[in-house]
Amino acid sequence: MRQGIPKNRKLCLQAAGIVLGTLLYAVSINYFLLPTRLGEGGVVGLTTIAYYTLGIAPYLTNFVLNGVLLIAGYRFLDKRTTFLSLWAIFWLSVFLKLPVVAVYHTSQTIIPTVASGVLTGIALGIIMRCGGTIAGSTILAKIANRYLGIQTGTATLILDLSVALPMVFIIGFQNMLLTVFELYLSDMLLNQFIARVGAKKAIFIVSDAHAAIAAELSERLQQGITVLKGEGFYSGRERTLLYLVCTPAQIAKVVPIVEKVDANALIVVEHVRSARGLQMHQLL
């Protein structure tokens, strides 16, 4: 029972995050995209086509097409992702059905284009960070990311363009170009959001005071630490390395803690995005 509580709490947080993400996505569609007569990619792009040509409500097309696609691709996803994706599709359809309170009118079409791209990128980032998808091109992009290693935003962009470009015959050349720009902006923000929000960083620490540093970090951060043995090529001495995985916010705490114990300690963040240390030739 005690182990089930954190899992249930995490699922609740993920479900709440997806509701927020789908709300932002619906705002992007109802308040900026449709009033400006812009297109979209994937299933949402198909819903706009159905809306512009046949007058079919976006929430209905979204629910039917995304539901069918999710059922067809469920075997590529785990049960939790499938459940959270169904949850996202349901709430996106609910929010799309809500009446639009006030539409933002402007002759500068680039403004709603940018607003839609930013909101869509953040919305998809929240949904995917919470473990879900909105089916459509995002579920195909997640499959491509898992099995082909393609960045989620890049795969989404490729799939979205395959729907957006032919829309030139419906929304015109100018709006098609604006749609492509909106897709590019949203997918680049999606990549950045996934890469930065909630991301983990790996840190290597080299110090003669490794035992004291490990004890201090463990007590202050409640963080698991791995002790590795190595040998410095320059000095020929055996060295002890500390390895830990933490959040970007924790990195800001790690450095002062380590320097308080050993001002000459070497600290390296994975991908060499940050490295600190004094007398490095003596350390290694």
| Highest mean pLDDT out of 57-66, 172-181, 238-247 | 172-181
What is the CA angle 222-251-239, rounded to 5?
Answer: 80
Neighbours of 242 (CB within 10 A): 21
Residue 260 has pLDDT above 80, yes or no: yes
- For 107-157, how does the pLDDT look when each residue is reduced to its tens digit (9 = 90+)? 888 999 999 999 999 998 898 888 887 777 766 776 777 777 777 667 777
* Cα–Cα distance for residue pair 177/165, rounded to 1 Å: 8
Predicted TM-score (pTM) of the model is: 0.69
* pLDDT for the residue numbered 52: 92
- Mean pLDDT, rounded, for 199-222: 82
Question: Residues of 37-47 as b/e, b for ≥16 C-beta within 10 angstroms?
Answer: bbbbbbbbbbb
- For 266-284, how does the pLDDT look when each residue is reduced to its tens digit (9 = 90+)? 888 775 343 344 443 344 4
Taking a C-beta distance cutoff of 8 angstroms, is the pair 258, 205 a contact? yes
Separation in Å, CA 247 to CA 141, 184, 276:
25, 28, 18
More confident residue, 122 or 105: 122
* Domain spanning 201-283, CATH class: alpha beta
Pairing of strands 274-276, 226-231: unpaired
